[in-house]
Structure 1
Amino acid sequence: MAKRTPGLEKVVSIIPKALHELGSKQEREFYQHWVLWHWADIIGEAYAENVKAVRIERGSLYVYCRNAAWSNETRYQMPRIIQQVNNYAGGEMVKEIRFSRSWREEDWAPQRADEERAEKEVPEVNVGRERAKMVLTPDDLAAAEKIGSGTEDEDIALKVRQLYRKDRQLDKLRLARGWKPCPTCGRLRPPQAAACSHCRRQAGEDIRARVRAVLRDIPWARCKEVCEYVPECTPQLLNEQRAALVQLMASKVAANDRTSMEAKTLVMLYRCLPPDKLTDEAVKRALYELRFSMYWPPGYTPPKRYEAIPLRRAAKRQYGKGHQEGHPKSSGASEEKG
């Protein structure tokens, strides 16, 4: 294979630069469609089958939900969904989630029709019946009789022998269907799989551990930065590991702690904020949202919402007006002035 010519850039680095040169509007529209295209990767396959992302408009993500149960679940998970979408987009793209007034069943009808058609085309196979047809060799039967020979309970020994014979029959059935030994551990693997289920599970756990290690060193890292260290990382995997680390760290940080390094690291991990953008206001607001996941010391009183999240201008005027009307000193001052 020929070596890459020095000076050439990869496509993943050329596209963001080209979009940036087109202007902020085109760049934002592209990433909005990018989020909609990869909705299942961001939120998960099971969730995407019941909650459909339709469009992003003026900082609002519009979704269709299959039923009221999924609407309630989306309301409950709204902060997490917004955070995952913004993490995937690489910036603050969505501020709120809005629901459609009507339900359109036809959005999922083609997908369900394809799934039902695929299920009908695949014939059902009784694995137990096919396994029972496999004939064991005399060596397999002799090995089965040796199992449990020193066990005092004959019933347990009989059950163990039966399990061993069934396992040998299942291995023979798999070999007859084209299964091959795993190149790593020697267990049987499906013909279309590169490794057995045990090795795939172990490899997945290794990837998750590497992603968590990167997040511990760079809490504000997004998917693009994590992929530089862990190329196998996906947005869904990153969101899962980030959420797991947030829950673990939040349980060790006191709810009234806003100055320690652990609290600031928790905010950087939760908000994907680099250290130069970590302000007191961002720390206060993020820890307020995580207050129910954090450790509550004895005598701790949770703050009011307006103490952590500033009121809007109209609400602030209304709150100040009502506060002044109910305050005895303000009413007395007005009477003296009159």
Structure 2
Amino acid sequence: MKDSELLVLKVLRTPWARQQFLLHWLRSHWADILGHTAADHSQPYRLENGTLYVHTDNPMWSNQLHMMQGKLLGQLNRQLVPALQGRKRILREMKFYHGIIQEEIQPREDKGPFMPKVDPSRRCPVCGVPLIGEEEICSACRREQVQTLRREIRKQLVLRPWLRYEDCRELVKCDRITFTDVKAVLGEWALNRALDPKATAQEKAFAVLLETGLRPKELQEETIVRTLEKARRSRYYVPARRK
């Protein structure tokens, strides 16, 4: 990163503003990092809590970039080394989603650093603090809304672990990315419980319902055993070391 860009990062006060700047930087340098071919089919969409969400225009590119995630994370964090400020890495995870990229792709030419503007006349409708840039709600209140949404999605999945995104959307106004992420986190937690030797039959059934999307009346003991055994093998499998 350039010295001018590092200076901008230092003066930005809120986590939301720093994330927006880093997202702008990643979009501006995306082709230089990935190469023009991959950049023509993908676009950084959102940066939140160390997770970079990327949209692609083809499932093949989602799969290919997912397979390269480890390499990409190392490369991206090396590019952001001057901005780490004592942290080991800024980006911890990348998530890829196939879908139409509706946002305008940032031009590749460097037009200088991005500086969010504060308009004192525009205030958060919830808490009243001045808004930064194009914010409709301040970062703190937005964070609380996101957490509330995630809790509601989790509640629905606990009650109905077989829910798909289309079903959940009829109960909770949510987007696919948030639903998928909440379900993945809950699924990981449920599998950990189910694979415990002391797990109850109910905990095992819940994990399998969440994993397979089957309804309770469709669930068979054989399916529970097979699903959990597959999960156990995938967790404890150690690939042979190359010689």
TM tier, smaller:
0.5 to 0.7
Q: Does residue 262 of structure 1 match 2:203?
A: yes
Q: Does residue 124 of structure 1 match 2:141?
A: no
Aligned equivalents of 2:234, 2:193: Cα separation in 1: 9
1:252 Cα deviation from its structure 2 partner: 2.5
**Contact 2:194–2:200 at 8 Å: present in 1 too?**
no
Q: Which runs of 5+ in 1 are unaligned?
A: 1-36, 56-61, 74-83, 89-112, 128-172, 295-301, 303-338
1:155-183 Cα deviation digits (max 9, x unpaired): xxxxxxxxxxxxxxxxxx834xx652212
1:191 Cα deviation from its structure 2 partner: 5.5
Aligned to 1:277: 218
Aligned equivalents of 2:118, 2:55: Cα separation in 1: 34
Q: Which of the residues 121, 141, 146 maps onto 1:199?
A: 141
Larger Rg: 1
Aligned to 1:317: none
Structure 2 CA distance for partners of 1:48 and 1:278, relative to 1, 3 Å: same
Structure 2 CA distance for partners of 1:40 and 1:266, relative to 1, 3 Å: farther
Aligned equivalents of 1:53, 1:47: Cα separation in 2: 12
The structure with the largest helix share of the pair is: 1
**Contact 1:180–1:188 at 8 Å: present in 2 too?**
yes
The count of corresponding residues between Structure 1 and Structure 2 is 163
Q: Does residue 53 of structure 1 match 2:45?
A: no
The equivalences for 1:147-186 within 5 A come to 174-175=118-119, 180-186=122-128
Q: Secondary structure at the match of 1:266?
A: helix
The equivalences for 1:81-92 within 5 A come to none
The equivalences for 1:1-338 within 5 A come to 46=53, 48=55, 53-54=59-60, 63-65=63-65, 69-70=68-69, 114-117=106-109, 120-121=110-111, 123-124=112-113, 174-175=118-119, 180-190=122-132, 192-231=134-173, 233-255=174-196, 260-291=201-232
Structure 2 CA distance for partners of 1:214 and 1:196, relative to 1, 3 Å: same
- Normalised by the length of structure 2, the TM-score is 0.52
**Contact 1:258–1:264 at 8 Å: present in 2 too?**
no
1:228-248 Cα deviation digits (max 9, x unpaired): 1112x1222111111111222
RMSD over aligned CA atoms reads 4.3
Q: Which runs of 5+ in 2 are unaligned?
A: 1-40, 46-50, 73-95, 99-104, 237-243
- Normalised by the length of structure 1, the TM-score is 0.39
Aligned to 2:4: none
Structure 2 CA distance for partners of 1:253 and 1:237, relative to 1, 3 Å: same
1:275-297 Cα deviation digits (max 9, x unpaired): 12212232122212322799xxx
> What amino acid sits opposite 1:124 in the alignment?
P
Identity of aligned residues (%): 20
1:288-312 Cα deviation digits (max 9, x unpaired): 2322799xxxxxxx9xxxxxxxxxx
Aligned equivalents of 1:63, 1:183: Cα separation in 2: 40
Q: Secondary structure at the match of 1:281?
A: helix
